[in-house]
Amino acid sequence: MRVLNFYLLISGLLMANIANAFPQQSPVPGGIAIVALDGKTPPNVYYNKRKVLTVLKNDKWLAIVGIPLSTKPGNYALVDRKTAQSTPFTVTDKTYPAQYINLKKTAKNKRMINPNKMDMERINRERKTLSSALATWSNDVPQVDFILPAHGRLSSPFGLKRFFNKQARKPHSGLDIAAPTGSAVVAPAAGSVIDVGHYFFNGNTVLVDHGQGLISGYFHLSKTLVNIGDTIHQGQKIAEIGATGRVTGPHLHWNVYLNNTKVDPAFFISDHIHKLATKKK
């Protein structure tokens, strides 16, 4: 746990290098690249055929790009479809640690590790629903100075290579905050609710669109307090922490997506709020 808290503290300290109005730049797999763009007119920038969030700061257009965990180190480029101009950026390497999780050998947990045929049919339907929601694009200027959505022990960082009962699974796609069932989950920034539902792996779920492909997700909830289409403000209570779906105990699994790519939510938490969170036990 000391290693985990050290990881989160360092992440918070690095955020001091960028104004609170912006996420931390970390151009690594699962990270964020902030790329300066040429031109005075609003850009129409794409990366990996996906539209990218752009903001104007000090009369300069900046692209805030989500980098997939599967990305190899190397040189990449953004393409402006209005001008056909290409803007390069570099992705550097990052190694994520492994996490081994032992689920008790109950009938439910066995299915959570090796779903049966009916489970897989449900999972495939749910993937389509989630994919549709995560493809949402609105032209609203997003609020990117996030606050923590919950308070508790930061139990699992983003990017862990995960093994359930020694079986390899996809890397950890979010940040886990462990707290008692019923603890409040609040919106880290203003936005619009684009999905509320119950999913096989994710349990009770809320997805919030913050604008321009910046979307946040809240999973394993005991209770949801918003509906699809609701407009919410920063700090508004939207749900309560629970232990639904594939879990070992009550916690919030928090995802952040940029250009339909999962990125480390820790990059969006302001330095001040993040330090407060690391002091909680």
pLDDT, tens digit, for every residue of 128-165? 999 999 999 999 889 888 999 999 988 888 888 755 55
Task: Give the per-residue pLDDT at 120.
Answer: 87
Residue type, 127: R
Same domain, 77 and 102: no
Task: Give the per-residue pLDDT at 103.
Answer: 60
Q: Which domain holds residue 50?
A: 19-91
Same domain, 79 and 128: no
Q: In this structure, what token pair is assigned to residue 108?
A: 């439910």
- CATH number for the domain spanning 158: value is 2.70.70.10
For residue 233, count other CB atoms closer than 10 A to its CB: 11
Cβ atoms of 268 and 188 closer than 8 Å: yes
The rounded average pLDDT for each run of 10 residues, N- to C-terminus, in the chain (281 residues) is: 39 36 88 93 94 92 95 96 94 82 62 78 93 94 91 86 61 90 97 97 96 98 98 98 92 97 89 48 42
Task: Give the per-residue pLDDT at 97.
Answer: 75
Task: Give the per-residue pLDDT at 244.
Answer: 96
Task: Give the per-residue pLDDT at 200.
Answer: 93
- Domain end, chosen from 64, 91, 118, is at 91
Q: DSSP character for 139?
A: -
Task: Give the per-residue pLDDT at 128.
Answer: 95
Same domain, 111 and 231: yes
Structural domain contains residue 12:
no
Structural domain contains residue 13:
no
| Largest distance between two CA atoms of the chain | 60
- Domain end, chosen from 39, 68, 91, is at 91
Structural domain contains residue 53:
yes
Same domain, 171 and 202: yes
Same domain, 181 and 197: yes
pTM, rounded to two decimals: 0.84
Rg (CA), the chain: 19
Chain centre distance of CA 66:
10
Cβ atoms of 137 and 260 closer than 8 Å: no
Structural domain contains residue 229:
yes
Same domain, 75 and 105: no
The string of DSSP codes covering 11-76 is HHHHGGGS-TTSPPPB-STTSEEEEE---SSPP-EEETTEE-EEEEETTEEEEEEE--TTPPSEEE
Same domain, 155 and 27: no
Helix boundaries (H) for the chain: 2-14, 107-113, 117-134, 271-279
